[in-house]
Structures are given as structure tokens and as C-alpha cells.
């Protein structure tokens, strides 16, 4: 069940001493970041503020993740499990989530799928230009040049598809995928938005 302000009453807070375990997952990489606890007030605050907020059992008060470190968790959506007594929170982290400085509270890297990692790297080159970066130089040449490169790589992949050289074909496929991600970044779109279109078509 997707949790929204109008259906919070359907959750079973009273049966869990007023607190529900809340698992936080990176909305992009799908890596599990941390677990906290939410009461109804913390959940309402999360939904209204857009920043993931828990109830701190040690401090006995609401606690917005990142209020000290600045590494906030931007809220995307919340779902309740089948018994409506635990929550799965989708969020976008602003930095390391664990107080130890680790990406997650399980000391795992928040990289997820390699294509997602590559996409974030390309977006970083767009937002933080580097003179030594090919990606930066390509983006700075404008959308027409980026689109042209995608077309060139597509043609090269088609040519290699007619032969039986596995290495050449896969390398051209990789070149096309990379330049396609650069084009998405240049247009301000994301791979997740493309995935959403494909999911809707699949239905």
C-alpha cells in the first residue's frame, strides 16, 4: 500500500507501541541505506516536508536524518507491507547515510547497478565540469554534437552487427550506451524516466 496523508490511519501504529520500523532504500540504486522508526507524527512530517524524519527512541523526539550532518534523505515515496506494520521508504541521499561516514549502515557502497553509477558520473561531469574529462568536453559542445555522436555510434553498431566479431560488436554497443547516457544528461532526463516508460509499455 502506498502511504499518503489520507490513509495513514490504516497503518497499525497502536499494535506496535506507536512505532513502525522504516527501511530506507535509495530510490535510484535500490540499495538499502538504513533502518529507523517512525510514529504517526514522524511519518506526517516526512510526507509534508519532503525530508525523511524518524522518531528517535534515545532522544525521545522527532529526528530528521541529516539535521546535524546535512546529509538529508529527500523523500520519494513510502509503502506499507502486507500487515501495514512496517514501512519501505524510497529516498534520495545527499551524502553518506551512516554516522560512521559509510554510504549505508551496513558499510556497503551505494553504487547499485553499474549503468546507474555511470549515469551519476556523467551527471557529475555535467554539473561539475572538468577540463580533463571527455564527457565534459562533449557536453560543452552542445546538444547537436551529442546527438550527432549518438547517431554515429548507432551506425557503427549496425555495421558491426553484420559481422561476427564479438569484441568489436560489444565495444560499439558500449560506445552507443555511453553516448546515449550523455544525451540523456544533456537533455536533463534520467535513465529511470526511460525505465518508467518501458514499465508502462510492458503492462
Taking only the tens place, the pLDDT of each residue in 12-65 is: 987 778 999 999 999 888 899 999 999 999 999 999 999 999 999 999 999 999
The predicted pLDDT at position 37 comes to 96
Mean pLDDT of the chain: 94
Instruction: Say which residues have a Cβ less than 8 Å from residue 54's Cβ, sequence separation at least 6.
Output: 22, 36, 37, 38, 42, 62, 63, 64, 65
- State the CATH class of domain 5-93: alpha beta
pTM of the model: 0.69
Taking only the tens place, the pLDDT of each residue in 154-181 is: 999 999 999 999 999 999 999 999 999 9
CA distance linking residue 34 with residue 56, whole number of Å: 14
Q: What integer is the mean pLDDT of 81-94?
A: 95
Residues of the chain with CATH 3.10.20.810: 5-93
Taking only the tens place, the pLDDT of each residue in 92-103 is: 999 999 999 999
The predicted pLDDT at position 203 comes to 74
CA distance linking residue 59 with residue 65, whole number of Å: 13
CATH number listed for the domain at residues 114-202: 1.10.287.1080
Taking only the tens place, the pLDDT of each residue in 125-154 is: 999 999 999 999 999 999 999 999 999 999
The phi and psi torsions of 123 (rounded to 5 degrees) equal -65, -35
Residues of the chain with CATH 1.10.287.1080: 114-202
Amino acid at each position: 500500500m502506498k502511504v499518503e496523508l489520507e490513509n495513514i490511519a490504516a497503518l497499525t501504529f497502536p499494535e506496535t507501541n506507536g512505532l513502525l520500523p522504516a527501511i530506507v532504500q535509495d530510490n535510484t540504486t535500490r540499495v538499502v541505506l538504513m533502518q529507523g522508526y517512525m510514529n504517526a507524527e514522524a511519518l506526517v512530517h516526512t510526507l509534508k516536508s519532503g525530508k525523511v524524519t524518524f522518531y528517535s527512541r534515545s532522544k525521545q523526539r522527532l529526528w530528521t536524518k541529516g539535521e546535524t550532518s546535512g546529509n538529508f534523505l529527500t523523500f520519494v515515496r513510502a509503502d506499507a507491507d502486507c500487515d501495514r506494520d512496517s514501512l519501505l521508504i524510497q529516498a534520495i541521499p545527499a551524502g553518506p547515510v551512516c554516522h560512521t561516514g559509510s554510504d549505508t549502515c551496513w558499510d556497503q557502497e551505494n553504487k547499485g547497478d553499474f549503468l546507474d553509477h555511470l549515469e551519476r558520473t556523467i551527471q557529475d561531469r555535467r554539473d561539475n565540469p572538468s577540463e580533463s574529462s571527455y564527457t565534459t568536453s562533449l557536453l560543452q559542445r552542445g546538444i547537436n554534437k551529442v546527438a550527432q555522436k549518438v547517431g554515429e555510434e548507432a551506425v557503427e553498431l549496425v555495421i558491426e552487427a553484420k559481422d561476427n566479431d564479438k569484441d568489436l560488436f560489444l565495444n560499439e554497443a558500449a560506445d552507443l550506451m555511453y553516448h546515449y547516457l550523455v544525451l540523456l544528461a544533456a537533455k536533463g532526463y534520467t535513465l529511470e524516466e526511460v525505465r518508467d516508460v518501458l514499465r508502462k509499455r510492458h503492462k
